[in-house]
Amino acid sequence: MILWINPATGVSGDMLLGALLGLGAPLDRVRAAIESTGLTGWSLSAERVQVDGIAATKAVVEVDDDATERHAGELLERAGRAPEPVARPAIEAIRAIAAVEGELHDRDPEHVHLHEIGGLDTVVDTVGVAAAAHELGITEVRSAPIALGSGTVRCAHGVLPAPAPAALRLLEGAAVIGADLPGETVTPTGAALLRALGTRYDPPPAMTLGATAYGAGNKRFEQRPNVLSASLGEPTAPSEPMLVLECTVDDISAETLGYALDRLLEAGAADAWISAATMKKSRPGHVLHVLCHPVDRPRLTELVLAESGSLGLRTYEVARTALPRRTSTVEVGGYPIRLKHGPHRSKPEHDDVAAAARALGLPLREVAERAIRSAD
Q: In this predicted model, what pLDDT tens digit does every residue of 273-317 receive, in sequence order?
A: 999 999 888 889 999 999 999 989 999 999 999 999 999 999 999
Q: Identify the weakest region by mean pLDDT among 158-167, 223-232, 272-281.
A: 158-167
DSSP 69-89: -EEHHHHHHHHTTSPTTTHHH
b/e sequence 63-98, b meaning 16+ C-beta within 10 Å: bebeeeebbbebbbebbebbeebbbbbbbbbbbbbb
Please report the pLDDT score of residue 197 as a whole number: 92
Indicate if the pLDDT at residue 118 is higher than 60.
no
Indicate if the pLDDT at residue 327 is higher than 50.
yes
Indicate if the pLDDT at residue 56 is higher than 70.
yes
Please report the pLDDT score of residue 156 as a whole number: 60
Indicate if the pLDDT at residue 116 is higher than 50.
no
Burial group, residue 1, by CB count within 10 angstroms (0-12, 13-18, 19+): middle
Among 347, 296, 299, 305, smallest CA distance to 326 is for 347
CB contact at 8 A, 242 and 270: yes
Indicate if the pLDDT at residue 76 is higher than 50.
yes
CA–CA gap between residue 194 and residue 211 (Å, rounded): 20
Residues of the chain with pLDDT > 90, as a percent, come to: 57
CA–CA gap between residue 76 and residue 93 (Å, rounded): 9
pLDDT-derived band at 191, boundaries 50, 70, 90: very high
The 3-state DSSP class for residue 116 equals coil
Indicate if the pLDDT at residue 161 is higher than 80.
no
Helix ranges (DSSP H) in 136-178: 165-170
pTM of the model: 0.64
How confident is the model over 334-370, as pLDDT tens digits?
A: 999 999 988 888 899 999 999 999 999 999 999 999 9
Indicate if the pLDDT at residue 210 is higher than 80.
yes
Q: List phi, psi (to 5°) of 129.
A: -65, -45
For 189, how many CA atoms within 13 A lie in the half-sphere containing its CB?
25
Please report the pLDDT score of residue 183 as a whole number: 83
Please report the pLDDT score of residue 357 as a whole number: 95
Beta strands in 300-334 (DSSP E): 314-321, 326-332
Residues in the chain: 376
364-375 and 350-360 helices cross at what angle (nearest 10)? Answer: 120
Q: Identify the weakest region by mean pLDDT among 82-86, 234-238, 266-270, 281-285.
A: 234-238
pLDDT-derived band at 67, boundaries 50, 70, 90: low
Helix ranges (DSSP H) in 238-349: 254-266, 297-308
The DSSP 8-state label assigned to residue 249 in this structure reads: E
Between 202 and 18, name the one with better pLDDT.
18
Between 344 and 156, name the one with better pLDDT.
344
Catalogue all structural domains in the chain, each as residue range(s) with its CATH number. Answer: 2-235 (no CATH), 239-321 (3.30.70.1380), 326-375 (no CATH)
CA–CA gap between residue 119 and residue 123 (Å, rounded): 8
CA–CA gap between residue 163 and residue 158 (Å, rounded): 13
pLDDT-derived band at 333, boundaries 50, 70, 90: very high
Residue type, 227: V
pLDDT-derived band at 41, boundaries 50, 70, 90: confident
Mean pLDDT score, 224-249: 90
Mean pLDDT (the chain) is: 88
Which is it for strands 146-150 and 176-182: parallel, antiparallel or unpaired?
parallel
